[in-house]
Every structure is written in C-alpha cells, then in structure tokens.
Amino acid sequence: MLEIKDLHAGFDGNEIIKGISLTIKKGEIHAVMGPNGSGKSTMAKILSGHPSYEAMGGEILFDGENLLEMDAEQRSLAGIFMGFQYPVEVPGVNNAEFLRMAHNARRVKAGEEEIDPLDFDDLLSEKMKTLGMEKKYKERNLNDGFSGGEKKKNEILQMAILEPKLSILDETDSGLDIDALRVVSEGVNKLRNENNALILITHYQRLLDYIKPDYVHVLSDGKIVKSGDKSLALELESQGYDWVTTAN
C-alpha cells in the first residue's frame, strides 16, 4: 500500500529525515518510535503533504502513485488520513458540517451525489454510537474550545467518517489521560480491518498496550536504526532510547 524508498526530507533546507525506507501492506499496524528530534514529526508532516515540508530525495508510492506529487487535498481523497498531534481550532464552523463537507468531497470524487444533511446526521450518529462519543461533538464548532482529549477523539471521529485506507496517527496519545487514551484506542481498534493500515507515531510505548502493532521501528537522527515486533517497544520502555541510539 505504502512504499517509502530512501526518503530524505526536511524544511527550510534543513534535512531532518536522512534516508528512510519502509513498506506497509494493508491490514498492518506499524509503530514509529523515537526520541524528540529524531524526525518522527517530520515524517508525519511529509506524509500528510504539509506545504512547509519538502522531500529532498527518494520517493513515496501510495497504491503505486507518486505521493509526493499530490497536495494534501489529493492525498486525503486518495485515502490517506492524518491524525494531528495538535488539531487546529476553527471557530464558527460547526463540527458536523465540517464532517459532512469532508464526506461529500469524497463522494464527489467517487462520482456520487452529495449526501443531504439529514442522511448524514444518521450516518454520523451511527459512527458516534460505535465510538461511544457524546452528542456535543455534533453541536460544537470544529475543535473550538475542545480539551486535548476531546480534540483527539474528534480526530478519530473524522477517521471513522472518512474511512481511510491508511491512517497516520501523530502522537495521538500525548496529553491524554488514561480514560481518554482508552476511548481513543478502542475507537481506532474498531475502525481497523484487513483492508486498511495504520502508522502510529509515538514517543511512549503505553499507546501500544492498547493498539497492538505488527512492527515497531525506532527512529534516530532521521534514520530507522532498529525494527522489530511489539517486544521491541517493551524493551525500549525498560532500557530507554539510549539503548538503540548508542548501539547504532
């Protein structure tokens, strides 16, 4: 589904990612871990198509298409979802209305008719029920005045509505208390199936207690220094990042 080949990337001419290769197949969950400054965030930004970040070498193929030639809107329509670390607040724009716009953009792309507000409300209610989310997520404005946990839950609600092929969750666990972390993780687990894939970008392994990865990659100074299965994350937890970064 996703092939990253010898990717070099950064912003303002500073190279932060210095040659990463990674292949992700459908149905898989990959965790990308690493200390601060290792290039985790840059990797998330470059995959989502953030205009301030640029690829300096290598390529990324998504379902065989050159991802680096697509802008953020095209990437989303192609089936990539970015769960932001700090979702932006948009006062004045109703959350349900925003979700409907996003859902309709997909329908239009697929050549279907736009969904009307009432039918969309049914769809939204159903998804919210599955995720155990309160009614307020329909009524409030997009992330406006949301707590950190509420913003992350709202990201998962968007993911549920958009049904992406590949989701990248950037530090989704940061700033969440245990209860919120459980709700978010359960939501993500419910949305999983054999046709979609997930990249979890995280500093801590505690998220991985809830969402079990098939592979764990450790990033240091812009490179993957170690890959393994779930046990790698536990080892990191007990020994600290120095264990892999100095071993390198």
Partner 1 sequence: MSDEQNSVSDILEDSTYKYGFTTDVESDTFAKGLDEDVVRAISKKKKEPQFMLDFRLKAFAKWKTMKEPEWPNVHYPPIDFQNISYYSAPKQKKVLESLDEVDPEVMRTFEKLGIPLDEQKKLANVAVDAVFDSVSVATTHKKKLMEVGIIFCSFSEALQEYPELIEEYIGSVVPVGDNYYAALNSAVFTDGSFVYIPPDTISPMEISTYFRINTEETGQFERTLIICAENSYVSYLEGCTAPQFDTNQLHAAVVELVTLENAEIKYSTVQNWYAGDKETGKGGIYNFVTKRGKCLGDGSKISWTQVETGSAITWKYPSCLLIGDNSSGEFYSVALTNGHMQADTGTKMIHIGKNTRSSIISKGISADHSSNSYRGQVKVGKNATNARNYSQCDSMLVGDKSSAHTFPYIETANSSVQVEHEAATSKISEDQLFYFESRGISRENAIEAVISGFCKEVFKQLPMEFAVEAQKLLTLKLEDSVG
Chosen residue from 29, 33, 82, 201 binding partner 1 by CB under 8 A: 82
C-alpha atoms less than 13 angstroms from C-alpha of 65 in its C-beta half-sphere: 13
Q: Which of residues 23-52 bind partner 1 (CB under 8 A)?
A: 48-52
Under the binding rule (CB under 8 A), the answer on residue 76 touching partner 1 is: yes
Q: Do 183 and 210 meet the contact criterion of CB atoms below 8 Å apart?
A: no
If binding is defined by CB under 8 A, does position 64 make contact with partner 1?
no
111 near partner 1 (CB under 8 A): no
The mark string for 154-193 relative to partner 1 (x by CB under 8 A, - otherwise) is ----x---x-------------------------------
Q: Pick from 13, 64, 69, 71: which binds partner 1 (CB under 8 A)?
A: 71
Whichever of 80 and 224 has its CB closer to partner 1, that residue is 80
Q: Which of 28, 31, 26, 7 is nearest to 232 (CA)?
A: 31
Cβ of residue 220: shortest distance to partner 1, in angstroms?
Answer: 27
Of 14, 88, 110, 111, which lies in the binding site for partner 1, with binding defined by CB under 8 A?
88
For residues 88 and 178, which CB has a smaller minimum distance to partner 1 in the complex?
88
- Cα dihedral 15, 16, 18, 22, rounded to 10, equals -130
Whether 137 and 123 have beta carbons less than 8 Å apart is answered as no
Cα 55 from Cα 11, distance rounded (Å): 8
Answer for which of 37, 57, 65, 101 binds partner 1 (CB under 8 A) is: 101
One-letter amino acid of 66: N
Is position 8 an interface residue for partner 1 (rule: CB under 8 A)? Answer: no
Residue 127: CB atoms within 10 A of its CB come to 21
> Please, what is the angle between helix 95-109 and helix 117-131, to 10°?
110
Residue pair 133/148 in contact (Cβ under 8 Å)? The answer is: no
Taking contact as CB under 8 A, which single stretch among the options 79-87, 129-137, 171-179, 192-200 is the one that binds partner 1?
79-87
Burial (0-12, 13-18, 19+ Cβ within 10 Å), 97: middle
Residues of this chain that interact with partner 1 (CB under 8 A) are 48-52, 71-73, 75-77, 82, 84, 87-88, 90-94, 97-98, 101-102, 105-106, 109, 141, 158, 162
